[in-house]
A and B are shown apart, each in its own frame.
Chain A
Amino acid sequence: MAIAIVDYGLGNLRSVEKAFAHLGAEAKLVTSAAELDAAPAAVLPGVGAFGDGMAGLDQRGFSGPLRAYAASGRPLLGICLGLQLFFERSDEAPGVAGLGILPGEVKLFKGAAFGARGGLKVPHMGWNGLTFASSHPLFEGLEEGSSVYFVHSFYVAPGAQDTVLATSDYGGRFCAAAGKGAVAGCQFHPEKSQRVGLRILENWVKSLSA
Chain B
Amino acid sequence: MLAKRIIPCLDVKEGRVVKGVNFEGLRDAGDPVEVARRYDEQGADELCFLDITASHESRDTILDVVERTAAQCFCPVTVGGGIRTVDDIRRLLRAGADKVSINSAAVKNPDLLAEGAQAFGAQCMVLAIDAKRFTPYNALGGVDSEDGVPKLCKALGMGIREMLDWQQAMKKRLGGSSPMGKGSRWHVFIHGGRIDTGLDAIKWAQLGVQLGAGEILLTSMDADGTKKGYDLELTRAIAEAVDVPVIASGGAGTLDHLAAALTEGKADAALAASIFHYGQHTIAEAKAFLKAKGIPVREVP
Contact = CB atoms under 8 A, between A and B. Distances in A.
A129 B1 CA distance: 7
Contacts of B75: 149, 192-194
B40 A194 contact: yes
Nearest to B243: A121
B70 A14 contact: yes
Contact of B298 (A122, A147, A197): A147
Interface residues of A, number: 39
Given A22-B74, A147-B298, A194-B40, A12 B98 contact: yes
Contacts of A120: 243
Indicate the member of A127, A128, A198 with the most B CB atoms within 10 Å: A127
A196 B301 contact: yes
B98 A125 contact: no
A147 B291 CA distance: 15
B71 A126 contact: no
A48 interface: yes
Nearest to A191: B74
A146 interface: yes
Interface string A128-144: 11000000000000000
A47 B244 contact: no
Contact of B5 (A18, A124, A127, A129): A127
Interface of A is mostly: mixed
A191 B43 CA distance: 15
Interface string B263-276: 00000110000000
Contact of B3 (A18, A128, A192, A196): A128
B121 A122 contact: no
Given A18-B71, A47-B123, A121-B245, A192 B1 contact: no
B214 A22 contact: no
Contacts of A123: 122-123, 214, 244-245
Interface in B263-301: 268-269, 298-299, 301
A195 B74 CA distance: 8
Interface string B21-59: 000000000000000000010010100000000000000
Nearest to A120: B243
A153 B269 CA distance: 18
Interface size class for chain B?
20 to 34
A194 B77 CA distance: 12
A147 B74 contact: no
Contact of A128 (B2, B43, B215): B2
A11 interface: yes
Contacts of B123: 47, 123, 125, 151-153
Contacts of B40: 194
Given A12-B93, A126-B5, A146 B70 contact: no
B95 A47 contact: no
B89 to A, nearest CB: 10
Contacts of B2: 124, 126-128, 170
Interface string B117-141: 0001111100000000000000000
Contact of A194 (B70, B244, B301): B301
Nearest to A169: B1
B74 A47 contact: no
A19 interface: yes
A147 B96 contact: no
Given A22-B74, A122-B243, A195-B301, 17 more contacts: A15-B74, A18-B96, A22-B72, A121-B245, A121-B268, A123-B122, A123-B244, A125-B268, A127-B45, A127-B298, A147-B298, A147-B299, A170-B2, A192-B74, A192-B98, A193-B75, A194-B301
Per CB-CB distance, the 7 closest pairs between chain A and chain B, nearest first, are A127-B298, A147-B298, A127-B3, A151-B123, A48-B121, A11-B93, A128-B2
7 contacts: A11-B124, A15-B74, A15-B98, A47-B121, A49-B121, A126-B269, A170-B2
Interface of A: 11-12, 14-15, 18-19, 21-22, 47-49, 117, 120-129, 146-147, 149, 151-153, 169-170, 189, 191-198
